[in-house]
A = this chain, B = another copy of it.
Amino acid sequence: MRADARKNRDHLLAVAGTAITEQGVDVSLRDIARRADVGLATLLRHFPTREALLDALLRTSFDELTARAAELETSSSPEDALVSWLRDCVAWTTEYRGVTVLMAAAIEDTESALHASCVTLRAAGARLLTRAQAAGMARSDIDGTDLFALVAALAWLGDQPSLAPRADHLFDVVASAILTSAGSSHAKRERRPRARS
């Protein structure tokens, strides 16, 4: 890559980081290009899609989260490791308003630039979940995909200005649902008469 191209790329990433922190991931790409004193076409050549830009921008964060999962796996109890990692994930998304929707779309879109990162994240969560389940600390009827979905839903809550104030509390509510049902009587109560067809 040519030196000037590299410089533009790096500068664009820096500016994009600022813009996204300020305005969320839906910020206009034109705005980012303007703030970087660069043509829109240049931004779009370096990062052909919004997902590609985010992938470059967030890769470090993704890596940190997966590393943190590995670390917690050896340093904490299965229960604490799972819950505090989930908490970290949700807390992280608050720095990038709107990223949850893109991640939810990317997790099953193999063409998305964010796909690989999302899959890796889900796998990291699945490991912690399996460990907690093996220890009897987490309900056994959920898997990594369920966990990903729950974290996404909680992160989405935090993205909605009107619901965000409850996000922390509802995290605890959902966390209790993941943890507490392990072998409890609820597994039986849970079987309700009949779902509305």
Interface residues of A (CB under 8 A from B): 80, 83-84, 87-88, 91, 101, 104-105, 107-109, 139, 141-142, 145-146, 148-150, 152-154, 156-157, 160-163, 166-170, 172-174, 176-181, 184, 186, 189-190, 192-193, 195-196
Contacts and interface: CB of A to CB of B under 8 A. Distances in A.
A180 B170 contact: no
Contacts of A178: 173
B166 A176 contact: no
A75 to B, nearest CB: 14
Contact of A180 (B145, B163, B189): B189
Given A105-B162, A107-B162, A152 B146 contact: no
Contacts of A167: 149
21 contacts: A87-B195, A104-B162, A104-B163, A105-B162, A107-B163, A146-B170, A148-B163, A149-B163, A149-B166, A150-B170, A152-B157, A152-B160, A153-B153, A153-B154, A172-B190, A172-B192, A173-B178, A174-B174, A176-B181, A176-B186, A177-B177
Contacts of A172: 190, 192
Contacts of A148: 163
Contact of A146 (B141, B145, B166): B166
Given A172-B190, A173-B177, A177-B173, A196 B91 contact: yes
A174 B180 CA distance: 12
Contacts of A195: 87, 168
Nearest to A118: B162
A190 B176 contact: yes
A79 B161 CA distance: 30
Given A88-B196, A180-B184, A181-B180, A142 B173 contact: yes
